[in-house]
Structure 1
Amino acid sequence: MWTDKQRGIRMSQQELMCKNSCGYYGNPAWKGFCSKCWRERARPAEAHRQDARVTGDGTPPTFSKFEEKKNMEKGRRINTMRRLFWGSPSPPKSEPSDSQINVLKAFRKLEPGDFTGFLKTLRSPSSQRLQSRCTAFLNTMEAYHDLPIQKHSDLVQDFYQSFADYFSSFSDAELTQTMEHVEKLIMTRLHKWVFCHDSCDDEQKDLTLQRRIRSLNWVTPQMLGVPFPEVQNAITGDPFLPAITAIIEMDAKRAPQDKLVCVSKCSQHVFEALSVSNSEPANADDFLSALVYVVLKANPPRLHSNMQYVIRFGLPHSLMAGESGYYFTNLSCAVAFIEKLDGPALNLSQEEFDGYMRRRQAPAAGGGRQDIACETHRLLDELTARQERLDRGVGDLNVQLRTWVQAVHTQIDQATSQLTMVQEELKDLSSSSPSSSYPDSTVSEQLVLTDQHAGPQDSDC
């Protein structure tokens, strides 16, 4: 039923790839390029701007001299920082040695995801050099925390590259595992220094995006072309609730890879919800539309800052390829779509869109909401009937209990009256006996006298 409707979001797999046709995923934050092509494209442009400082008459302007001096000072500070933990302006090339071979063997033995084991191996005496590099790098980054955020990003990426060169003999899987541990170690410590840095306007963009998403809370799944189940879960209601929870948890994580894990979980929950909602396999259009719906419903805190944090300080291979790169690229496209959302994208006229944005009118409840209301009423009726049956059962049980108590009390009264009669008879017999010094014989005589049907008894008395 959903295939016949026109969706507001259409994006092919090719449009998600890098514009440079390098085979990796692009990103709207990099203007459609991947991280590698974007850096290669941005650095020569920056160098060209620094060299183009001479005017037409050959006289360099005063502002250009100021910029040149400023850039030289920044470059000197960057080189100083690199020398502090590398000993030279550029990272040294690793040379195989016995100590390095032992270190590599120790890191190869680690299990995937064993971050505690990685820390123990890094603190071992054989890994003293690597530990010293990490400590020096962290201390230097904290000391120069007032540098621009882009410089911090370049230094962290250079540090990742240096570690990758040191473990160049590892396989791709082993290198990826080790670098993820390195990223988690470095960025967990630097999170408070580089997240929402003072040199960027991430905080203002977070507020702008949050207000934008809040103003679009009237958008329904039908407007976005999201397949919605006709019968929803009676407990959760919205099948996309797990995806909404996962994307909100992203702000609580510190390491970029942990934030990407939240994005991957959110995307996987979206695919699960789509598989329940639609009998046909979910395609890229359905996934992107559903992801837009999830972002609108979740309104994740500091979404722009979290995405920029992952872009600046995440491992390149996590953003350029694989599931995490695909999911993060779709999330970036979803945010870009929300920022530019208008009436035609939702199959609405501009007057209707403006009316919804200004709260002049509200969209009519779709068939999905009516189905939810009907299902809710059905559940309420069923619960009411069950409650009535339970009340009747409790009433019958109370009646049976009272009857049983009365019967017990009646039996107790009868037994008590019989006991009283027996005691009185025994008392009368004991008072009428001539001899009271032989209680045993008296009792025996009483028993003999009371038994009228018994025959003659032999007595030794």
Structure 2
Amino acid sequence: MWAEQRGIHVDQSELLCKDGCGYYGNPAWQGYCSKCWRVRTRSTQPDRQEYGPSSCPSPAGGAPLTFSKFEEKKNTEKGRRVNTMRRLFWGSSPSPPKKEPSESQIAALKAFQSLQPGDFTNFLKLLRRPASQNLQSRCTAFLNTMEAYHDLPVEKQSDLVQDFYQSIAGHFGSLPEEQTVQMMEHIEKLIMTRLHKWVFCHDSSDDEQKDLVLQRRIRALKWVTPKMLRVPFKEEGSEASDPFLTAITAIIEMDARRTPQDKLTCVSKCSQSVFQALASSSSEPANADDFLSGMIHVVLKANPPRLHSNMQYIIRFGLPHSLMAGESGYYFTNLCCAVAFIEKLDGPALNLSPEEFEEYMQGRRPPPHSGVEGCEGLCRARTNQQLLAEVTRRQEKLAEGVCAMQAELSQWVQAVQSQVDDIQAKVPLHITSTESDI
């Protein structure tokens, strides 16, 4: 994937799904998109029974489904509770015939259709209307049940959330695709704001350990310069502020967001800032290789908190369309590629020998400084040097003033003493005694 001659190179075709579906793949899914990865994963588990809304059997066809082999090991009581949870989500009938929407439901959909993009506050107001009671009840039941079963493995929780997205999207089936996407983003924000504390960095995963490993890895690579990564920048602009500062701030801010969509917004803002920084640092337009190099530089410089956990949270609980297509999908795929590159970074990727790479990693060789990487330290050193020179000049001037003052004081004392001697010579001092002294 990476070519030694140019340092960092990625073919755009390598960002796409390995199944050739046309969507973006992801290293976390072994190069597949989320849809193909789920199909592939489920096909390798023949003992697992699907639990989507379209696959639930009718009461005449047998007992409702359980969660899979994991739930088969549970006792009968736990199985009954799980089945109850499924009925709360999707009901007991497999695929009831579609009913024509009532006038109130049509009015509710028109109200949803009038919402502006990102207007989550008014979405909540419309959700509380009687016409939206069915949608609100389904969301509330899903949230309450997920919180009650928050001890399930995080992958099971991910499957439940993704299947719920697929089920609830049918509620907005009559809306145009673009507005359906906006409504689903509101649904995601509603659901994941509540579930964030239960599913983020879950105890059943090793996200916390991988966060620490990745953080130490990035800290150990702090010596890597933009020049090594082939990041274009202006040599004469070394005294200016870091052009990637906005991108660094955006990627750090991602950890403070609660929903996958908001975290993806931070990734998009970071990526757009990288493109702007590259455009301001080079006369030539930035290409995909430059962008990936800039993204790697930003990640190394920022060392974002809980980066692995945030990426896994987006992958597990984000809307599929946000990760598989569009700008957000492209930006997130490049972020995943940047992290994968950092994890496997070696000497040849930076045009260094293995011995030189190990010396840098172990601190036996002083870190190189060039361009943007050494900008902050260089500016600070020059500022301190100028301040020190100014203090030295002031001290020298003060010392000269003290010497001059001492010389003037000595001359004044000599002059006063000379005057006193002259007066005493002209007018001798006679001490006469009086009768009172006798």
Normalising by structure 2, we get a TM-score of 0.77
Q: In the alignment, which residue of structure 2 is the partner of 1:8?
A: 7
1:160 matched to 2:165? The reply is yes
Q: In the alignment, which residue of structure 1 is the partner of 2:237?
A: 232
String of CA shifts for 1:93-117, please: whole Å, max 9, x gaps: 6522223212211111111111000
* Match 2:218 to one of 196, 213, 216: 213
Return the alpha-carbon distance in structure 1 between the equivalents of residues 151 and 93 of structure 2.
21
Q: In the alignment, which residue of structure 1 is the partner of 2:29?
A: 30
String of CA shifts for 1:405-428, please: whole Å, max 9, x gaps: xxxxxxxxxxxxxxxxxxxxxxxx
Q: In the alignment, which residue of structure 1 is the partner of 2:317?
A: 313
2:309 is paired with a residue whose SS is helix
Aligned pairs for 1:33-432 (under 5 A) are: 33-47=32-46, 69-70=72-73, 78-88=82-92, 94-95=98-99, 96-232=101-237, 237-366=241-370, 373=378
Return the alpha-carbon distance in structure 1 between the equivalents of residues 337 and 75 of structure 2.
37
**Structure 1 range deviating more: 6-15 or 370-379:** 370-379
Structure index of larger Rg: 1
Amino acid at match of 2:228: M
1:84 is paired with a residue whose SS is helix
Q: Which runs of 5+ in 1 are unaligned?
A: 51-65, 386-461
2:115 is paired with a residue whose SS is coil
Q: Which runs of 5+ in 2 are unaligned?
A: 50-68, 391-438
Amino acid at match of 2:18: K
Amino acid at match of 1:43: R
1:111 is paired with a residue whose SS is coil
1:228 is paired with a residue whose SS is coil
Conserved? CA contact 2:242–2:372, under 8 Å: no
Residue 166 of structure 1 and its aligned partner are, at CA, apart by 1.2
What is the percent sequence identity of the aligned residues? 70
- For the structure 1 residues 319 and 368, does the alpha-carbon distance in structure 2 shift closer, same or farther, using more than 3 Å as the test? closer
Residue 122 of structure 1 and its aligned partner are, at CA, apart by 0.1
Return the alpha-carbon distance in structure 2 between the equivalents of residues 311 and 370 of structure 1.
35
Amino acid at match of 1:34: C
String of CA shifts for 1:304-339, please: whole Å, max 9, x gaps: 000000000000000000000000000000000000
Conserved? CA contact 1:94–1:165, under 8 Å: no
Residue 87 of structure 1 and its aligned partner are, at CA, apart by 2.1
Return the alpha-carbon distance in structure 1 between the equivalents of residues 324 and 24 of structure 2.
5
Amino acid at match of 1:164: A
Return the alpha-carbon distance in structure 2 between the equivalents of residues 168 and 29 of structure 1.
30
Q: In the alignment, which residue of structure 2 is the partner of 1:389?
A: none
Return the alpha-carbon distance in structure 2 between the equivalents of residues 93 and 140 of structure 1.
26
Conserved? CA contact 1:80–1:89, under 8 Å: no
- For the structure 1 residues 131 and 33, does the alpha-carbon distance in structure 2 shift closer, same or farther, using more than 3 Å as the test? same
String of CA shifts for 1:320-365, please: whole Å, max 9, x gaps: 0000000000000000000000111110001001111111112333
2:46 is paired with a residue whose SS is helix
Residue 377 of structure 1 and its aligned partner are, at CA, apart by 5.2
Conserved? CA contact 2:247–2:269, under 8 Å: yes
Residue 79 of structure 1 and its aligned partner are, at CA, apart by 3.9
Return the alpha-carbon distance in structure 2 between the equivalents of residues 374 and 117 of structure 1.
49
- For the structure 1 residues 139 and 125, does the alpha-carbon distance in structure 2 shift closer, same or farther, using more than 3 Å as the test? same
**Structure 1 range deviating more: 345-354 or 156-165:** 156-165
Conserved? CA contact 1:7–1:224, under 8 Å: no
Return the alpha-carbon distance in structure 2 between the equivalents of residues 250 and 357 of structure 1.
28
Amino acid at match of 2:193: T
1:88 is paired with a residue whose SS is coil
**Considering only aligned residues, what root-mean-square deviation do their CA atoms show, in Å?**
2.8
- For the structure 1 residues 121 and 49, does the alpha-carbon distance in structure 2 shift closer, same or farther, using more than 3 Å as the test? closer
**Structure 1 range deviating more: 79-88 or 329-338:** 79-88
Q: In the alignment, which residue of structure 2 is the partner of 1:428?
A: none
Conserved? CA contact 1:91–1:162, under 8 Å: no
Return the alpha-carbon distance in structure 2 between the equivalents of residues 13 and 102 of structure 1.
44
Conserved? CA contact 2:239–2:379, under 8 Å: no
- For the structure 1 residues 199 and 378, does the alpha-carbon distance in structure 2 shift closer, same or farther, using more than 3 Å as the test? closer
1:221 is paired with a residue whose SS is coil
Conserved? CA contact 1:226–1:286, under 8 Å: yes
Residue 371 of structure 1 and its aligned partner are, at CA, apart by 7.9
Structure with higher helix content: 1
- For the structure 1 residues 374 and 309, does the alpha-carbon distance in structure 2 shift closer, same or farther, using more than 3 Å as the test? closer
String of CA shifts for 1:212-243, please: whole Å, max 9, x gaps: 111111111111111122233866x2111110
String of CA shifts for 1:131-153, please: whole Å, max 9, x gaps: 11111111000000011111111
Conserved? CA contact 1:243–1:269, under 8 Å: yes
1:21 is paired with a residue whose SS is coil
Amino acid at match of 1:12: D
- For the structure 1 residues 127 and 8, does the alpha-carbon distance in structure 2 shift closer, same or farther, using more than 3 Å as the test? same
Conserved? CA contact 2:267–2:331, under 8 Å: yes
Return the alpha-carbon distance in structure 2 between the equivalents of residues 19 and 76 of structure 1.
40
- For the structure 1 residues 332 and 67, does the alpha-carbon distance in structure 2 shift closer, same or farther, using more than 3 Å as the test? closer
Return the alpha-carbon distance in structure 2 between the equivalents of residues 377 and 212 of structure 1.
31
- For the structure 1 residues 234 and 224, does the alpha-carbon distance in structure 2 shift closer, same or farther, using more than 3 Å as the test? closer
Amino acid at match of 1:352: E
Residue 165 of structure 1 and its aligned partner are, at CA, apart by 0.9
2:73 is paired with a residue whose SS is helix
